[in-house]
């Protein structure tokens, strides 16, 4: 039974399931490692070792500022430089793929997990889950929420406070509740060197 549940949690298709059936030790391991990580001194060696134990795939250029929380950890995969700022939460009840060059601002929540809409089923612990993919060079602004089943395309920027419920195409600035593409990222968005203070 545990193997079948693990297969569902790691599925790229998502699932509907009984949350009470998921072995508690899977979540407990993540809680313990997150606690250790959040209590650790800012020594990159110690933090890197803890991230290797926590995350499914941890690229060496993965930087996460405490505090950080996740459900399981084994479903989080970084594929290059990933900078995850303070107070981020990843509800990784399905796979979360974070592409190279990702910047995730403070307070962001990536939430694969959902619940039954029917109150009786919700009270019984019936939940839903769908994967999240951030392609390369994505930047997510502070306090944004990315919901399960969403892919954010390469090079896109998500505005602060947005709620992303649908896929976002590559190369756009997107914002709002619900989040939608506003305009493309263009050459005009480059900061001229003469404006740089240092």
List, by residue number, the catalytic residues: 115
Evaluated on CA atoms 179, 185, 190, 195, the torsion sign reads: negative
CA-to-CA separations, 179 to 71, 131, 145, in angstroms, rounded? 25, 18, 10
E strands, the chain, are 15-18, 62-64, 68-70, 76-78, 82-84, 88-91, 96-98, 102-104, 109-111, 113-115, 126-129, 132-134, 139-140, 145-147, 151-152, 157-158, 163-164, 172-176, 179-184
Cβ–Cβ < 8 Å for 118, 127: no
């Amino acid at each position: 039974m545990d193997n079948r549940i693990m297969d569902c949690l790691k599925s790229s298709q998502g699932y509907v399931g009984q949350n009470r059936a998921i072995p508690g030790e899977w979540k407990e391991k993540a809680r313990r490692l997150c606690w250790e990580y959040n209590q650790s001194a800012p020594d990159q060696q110690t933090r890197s070792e803890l991230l290797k134990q926590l995350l499914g795939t941890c690229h060496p250029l993965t930087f996460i500022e405490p505090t950080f929380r996740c459900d399981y950890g084994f479903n989080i995969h970084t594929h290059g430089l990933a900078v995850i700022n303070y107070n981020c939460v990843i509800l990784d009840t399905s796979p979360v793929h974070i592409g190279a060059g990702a910047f995730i601002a403070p307070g962001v929540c990536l939430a694969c997990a959902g619940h039954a809409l029917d109150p009786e089923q919700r009270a019984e612990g019936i939940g839903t889950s769908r994967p999240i993919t951030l392609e390369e060079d994505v930047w997510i602004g502070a306090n944004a929420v990315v919901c399960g089943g969403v892919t954010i395309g390469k090079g896109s920027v998500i505005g602060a406070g947005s709620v992303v419920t649908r896929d976002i195409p590559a190369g756009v600035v997107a914002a709002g509740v619900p989040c939608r593409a506003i305009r493309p990222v263009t050459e005009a968005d480059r900061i001229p060197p003469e404006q740089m203070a240092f």
